[in-house]
């Protein structure tokens, strides 16, 4: 069971059958034995093959009913496979993307937690301790983010699984770090540093308004593919960066010290261990007044 707040401050407890199963798998020795093959890249690839097949279409209708998904918001209503449905694209205009240059926006739909990176370039998510180097595998890059913020967007299976660039700017080459495929459900995050163990991919956006931003995509249980579009020499705010295949998954942003101030409700919720439900393109922070630092500082 975990707590999620909306932007109006209403807090709900999420405690599904899936949550209880995952809590058992990660919470006892027998469950962890069962988990070992499930988190392997081989099983993830096999799951991807099944969910790309035409027979997997039988899973679509029950999923739509269970999660009350309004298919009229999407570009098409007939799908060739479950993954074709899972990676469906919203109609143009179905999400409002805040265009004000000083406003920092969410790259995706999901449940957001924001965490301060201390001077040692370390931070905690739930009960797991991390370092920026552990995520990025680059000491040079990790040094830049001391004092900044880490933004963790956890996507559930019912969320929209495409994500965008949060600002205009130039994108670096991508770095891919192989790993396993733990679930990103809090049942795992409470016990394991899943974000530094899972397969992930990141690039640096030299953004127009917020300095250098790390954007990282993290695969999760039964997510065999992080499907990013080719690197863009020049990205636009709101432009699609990529999508995830089936399963829960995570987008992580890192912002440098003094470049973005998270909205107070999100900071307060995160400090209390409560995730905040956000939508692609909505405001989640703002550029502090008087931020005139030159690029690279």
Q: What's the pLDDT score for residue 284?
A: 98
The number of domains in the chain is 2
**Which of residues 86, 119, 151 is at a domain's end?**
86
- Are residue 111 and residue 82 in the same domain, yes or no? no
Within-domain flag for 1? no
Tell me which of 42, 59, 86 is where a domain ends.
86
| 277 and 134 in a common domain | yes
Q: Are residues 75 and 108 in the same domain?
A: no
Residues 27 and 64 in one domain: yes
Query: Can you give the pLDDT at residue 128?
Result: 57
Same domain, 62 and 192: no
pLDDT over threshold 70, residue 74: yes
173 and 116 assigned to the same domain: yes
Final residue of a domain: which of 36, 55, 86?
A: 86
Q: Are residues 131 and 277 in the same domain?
A: yes
Among 44, 109, 159, 270, the one annotated catalytic: 109
Structural domain of 71 = 13-86
Same domain assignment for residues 151 and 216: yes
Q: Are residues 282 and 245 in the same domain?
A: yes
On whether residue 7 sits in a domain, the answer given is no
So what's the pLDDT on residue 134?
Answer: 83
Q: From residue 261, give the alpha-carbon distance in Å to each of 108, 133, 143, 149, 211.
A: 19, 23, 20, 9, 13
**Based on the domain organization, do 161 and 281 belong to the same domain?**
yes
Catalytic site residue 249? Answer: yes
Q: Are 227 and 245 in contact (CB under 8 A)?
A: yes
65 and 186 both lie in a single domain: no
pLDDT digits (tens, 9 = 90+) for 228-261: 999 988 999 999 999 988 766 889 999 999 999 9
In-domain check, residue 267: yes
Instruction: Specify if 91 maps to a domain.
Output: no
Which residue stretches of 28-160 are H helix?
29-38, 41-51, 60-67, 82-86, 132-136, 139-143
Q: What percent of the chain has pLDDT over 70?
A: 74
C-alpha distance from residue 152 to each of 2, 183, 185, 231, 290 (Å) = 16, 14, 12, 22, 26
The structure's pTM equals: 0.84
pLDDT of residue 125: 56
Shared domain check, 240 and 120: yes
Could you say which of 106, 249, 263, 270 is catalytic? Answer: 249
Q: Is residue 69 domain-resident?
A: yes
Residue 197 falls inside a structural domain: yes
Does the annotation mark 167 as catalytic?
Answer: no
pLDDT tens digits for range 136-189:
888 889 899 989 999 999 888 888 999 999 999 999 999 998 765 444 545 444
């Amino acid at each position: 069971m975990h707590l999620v707040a909306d932007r109006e401050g209403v807090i709900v407890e999420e405690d599904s059958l899936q949550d209880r199963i995952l809590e058992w798998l990660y919470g006892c020795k027998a469950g962890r034995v069962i988990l070992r093959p499930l988190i392997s890249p081989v099983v993830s690839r096999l799951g991807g093959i099944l969910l790309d097949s035409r027979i997997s279409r039988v899973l679509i209708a029950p999923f739509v009913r269970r999660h009350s998904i309004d298919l009229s918001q999407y570009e098409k209503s007939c799908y060739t496979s479950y993954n074709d449905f899972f990676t469906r694209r919203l109609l143009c205009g179905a999400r409002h993307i805040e265009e004000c240059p000083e406003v920092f926006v969410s790259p995706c739909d999901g449940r957001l937690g924001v965490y301060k990176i201390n001077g040692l370039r370390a931070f905690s998510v739930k009960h797991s301790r991390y370092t920026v180097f552990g995520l990025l595998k680059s000491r040079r890059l990790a040094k830049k983010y001391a004092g900044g913020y880490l933004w963790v967007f956890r996507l559930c299976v019912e969320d929209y699984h495409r994500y965008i660039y949060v600002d205009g700017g130039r994108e670096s080459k991508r770095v891919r770090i192989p790993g396993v495929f733990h679930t990103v459900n809090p049942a795992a995050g409470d016990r394991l540093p899943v974000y530094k163990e899972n397969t992930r991919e990141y690039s640096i956006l030299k953004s127009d308004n917020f300095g250098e931003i790390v954007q990282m995509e993290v695969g999760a249980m039964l997510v065999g593919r992080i499907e990013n579009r080719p690197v863009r020499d020049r990205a636009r705010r709101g432009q699609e960066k990529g999508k995830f295949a089936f399963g829960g998954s995570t987008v992580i942003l890192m912002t440098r010290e003094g470049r973005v101030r998270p909205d107070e409700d999100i900071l307060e919720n995160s400090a209390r261990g409560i995730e905040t439900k956000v939508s692609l393109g909505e405001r989640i922070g703002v550029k502090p007044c008087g931020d005139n630092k030159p690029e690279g500082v």
